[in-house]
Amino acid sequence: MAGDNFNGIKALFINCTLKSSAQGQSHTETLMRDSMAIMEANGVEVSYLRAADHAIAFGVYPDMREHGAKVDDWPDVFWPKVAEADILVIGTPLWLGEESSICRVIIERLYAHSGQRNDKGQYIFYGKTGGCIVTGNEDGIKHAAMTCQYAMAHVGYTIPPQADCGWIGEAGPGPSYGDEMEDGGRAGFDNDFTKRNLTFMTWNLMHMAKMLADAGGIPAEGNSVPEWNDGRRFDHPNPEYR
């Protein structure tokens, strides 16, 4: 099925592991790479960032250096790739049943751009597609996916059907995704549920991004911020809305 069906589509994968590259392997990245490989095989231009390798200031402004932070890699390293990507996939490990703290920072920095508009006057992330990948050794895949995908949808991303996947081992200490097992196998690699969900997620993200690109994004009818602010209200049966 591999080919160039999705030429022109760009995807960005942001890994929110708590470990920097210097600290070693990221199990979340191992699973993310499977999705990235499917996209690349079908013509998608894929970029990858490991958030812990960068100094991302916390806050809800596009450039926190303008608000007291001494260093902020978000505006120069992350935002250009986020802005140009048709697809954004957030990867996060689970800690105490929740997404990582770095994942929350990424979500907050996405929200920092909620005051910006696209060329149609819509919120800046309209016309873009989002999904998430979760790994860990405890319950919480659906909970973390719910949190991430709601946040992405709220700021304007389109979330296609079944746009999340994940893998968790047995509860408690044990091998993480991709760890070598005693029998020479790799933990999670034989999990059909994870492989199916990752494949469906990846293709659904590509399909939705292509549909939106071909359609020129979300139609700019009834969702233009400037028109609303200018008093040009939209048709509504309740006159108080006009």
CA distance 8 to 203: 15
User: Which residues are CB-contacts of 48 (< 8 A; sequence separation ≥ 6)?
Assistant: 12, 13, 14, 15, 29, 32, 36
How many C-beta atoms surround the C-beta of residue 199 within 10 A? 14
Residue at 211: amino acid letter: M
How much is the pLDDT for 97?
83
> Superfamily assignment of 10-241 in CATH?
Flavodoxin domain (3.40.50.360)
Q: Where are the domains of the chain?
A: 10-241
How much is the pLDDT for 228?
81
**Per-residue pLDDT tens listing for the chain (242 residues):** 456 689 999 999 999 999 999 999 898 999 999 999 999 999 999 999 999 999 999 999 999 999 999 999 999 999 999 999 999 999 999 988 899 999 999 999 999 998 899 999 999 999 999 999 999 877 788 999 999 999 999 999 999 999 999 878 766 566 666 566 667 666 556 777 788 999 999 999 999 999 999 999 999 988 988 888 876 655 666 666 55
How much is the pLDDT for 188?
58
CA distance 27 to 201: 18
User: Which residues are CB-contacts of 211 (< 8 A; sequence separation ≥ 6)?
Assistant: none
Contact 47, 15 (CB under 8 A): no
Tell me, yes or no, if the pTM score tops 0.85.
yes
| Look-up of token digits 């999670």 | 188
| Cα dihedral across residues 47, 31, 141, 42: positive or negative | positive
How much is the pLDDT for 176?
65
